[in-house]
Amino acid sequence: MVRNHLISLADITDADLYRIVDRGGQFASGARPGETLGGAVVGVYFRATSTRTRTAFSAAALRLGARLITYGPHDLQLNTGETTEDTGRVLSGMLDALVARTAGSVEELRALADQDRMAVVNAMGAQEHPTQALTDLTAMAGHFGDLAGRRVLYMGEGNNTAAALALALPRYPGTELHLRTPEGYGVDPDILVRAKEYAARHGSTVTERHDAVDLPTGLDVVYTTRWQTTGTSKADPDWRNAFVPFRVDEDVMRTSPDAVFMHDLPAHRGEEVTAAVLDGPRSIAFTQAEAKMHSAAAVLEWSLGAL
């Protein structure tokens, strides 16, 4: 089997990005997964909490005919000092793919991928959440039918979800990504540079501002995430004060009457989004959550050369 690692969206080609999103859309539209991964063994290693991503990859692997081995945060000898490289070498002799949520650095994931026998999928690291962006694009494509020219406003912390979205959306022609993040909580500058390179290549735009005034209008999507990213903490005890202006409420949604609302979940109603928006008729957040399983199936097929 082919082994394709998904550590960062910056590592994959535009063609592979489109292929994964299109395949996820086929599954979301009702295409029945065949046993394209029959005989494969997929490891699922989560060191941080997860409802959607862990369930999505587990369900997707089973639906594609693979078998699962699951590991919790205390199950591997990494906890007793075995190196990440040695762990990757050992697991690669037994698994075909490893879906890993370390919530750590990308270097740790690259160490697990420092072999050519086992595909490694980043199910969320500190810097980037690539499978979330693939889910987001799958959900948008399912709703709109086409991603070219879509205009998206992201409000909140420039976290790993925002970083992944910035590395993915601008690769579709004519798209606009407006990032509104609190001062001191923006998208990683290196990722922003790469995102703008993609935008320049595809006739798209990526902008970041640290205020919540003069919001763009005529949007297709308004997107937010929880203010406290999983596995992280903030040094400033008063950080919430900086985030309050970036809450998505009915006034924000009124600036673009045709926009849908997206959220990667879990959500804290009354913090990053009001209940009226999250549970309202323009929210596709729970359709977006379901799309994670369809996107995960596409990622697994691509990672193991079945796509």
Burial letters 298-307, b for 16+ CB under 10 A, else e? bbbbbbbebb
pLDDT at 180: 98
| Per-residue pLDDT tens digits for 172-221 | 999 999 999 999 999 999 999 999 999 999 999 999 999 999 999 999 99
Of 75-79, 125-129, 225-229, which gets the smallest average pLDDT? 225-229
pTM: 0.96
Dihedral (Cα; 49, 221, 296, 174), 10-degree rounding:
-130
pLDDT at 164: 98
pLDDT at 105: 87
pLDDT at 32: 86
Question: 218: number of CA atoms within 13 Å, CB side?
Answer: 4
Domain ranges of the chain: 9-128+292-303, 131-289
Residue 232 — very low, low, confident or very high, per pLDDT cuts 50/70/90? confident
Nearest to 264 by CA among 189, 159, 168: 159
DSSP element (H, E) containing 167: helix 160-168
Checking if the pLDDT of 2 tops 90, the result is no
pLDDT at 285: 98
| Per-residue pLDDT tens digits for 237-283 | 899 999 999 999 999 999 999 999 999 999 999 999 999 999 999 99
Domains 9-128+292-303 and 131-289 share a fold: yes
Checking if the pLDDT of 227 tops 70, the result is yes
Checking if the pLDDT of 229 tops 80, the result is no
Structure tokens that stand for 190 in this block: 């290196």
CA–CA distance, 145 with 176 (Å, rounded to integer): 17
Q: What share of the chain has pLDDT > 70, as a percent?
A: 99
pLDDT at 1: 67
Q: What share of the chain has pLDDT > 90, as a percent?
A: 93
Checking if the pLDDT of 230 tops 80, the result is no
Q: Count CB-CB contacts under 10 A for residue 140.
A: 27
- Say if residue 266 is preceded by a cis peptide, omega within 30 of 0: yes
* CATH placement of domain 131-289: 3.40.50.1370
pLDDT at 297: 98
Query: Which architecture characterizes domain 9-128+292-303 according to CATH?
Result: 3-Layer(aba) Sandwich (3.40)
Residue 234 — very low, low, confident or very high, per pLDDT cuts 50/70/90? confident
pLDDT at 231: 64
| Per-residue pLDDT tens digits for 5-60 | 999 999 999 999 999 999 999 999 999 888 999 999 999 999 999 999 999 999 99
Task: Say which residue, 288 or 2, is predicted with more confidence.
Answer: 288
Q: What is the mean pLDDT of the chain?
A: 96
**In this structure, which amino acid lies at residue 4?**
N
The distance of Cα 189 from the centroid of its chain, to the nearest Å, equals 18
pLDDT at 145: 96
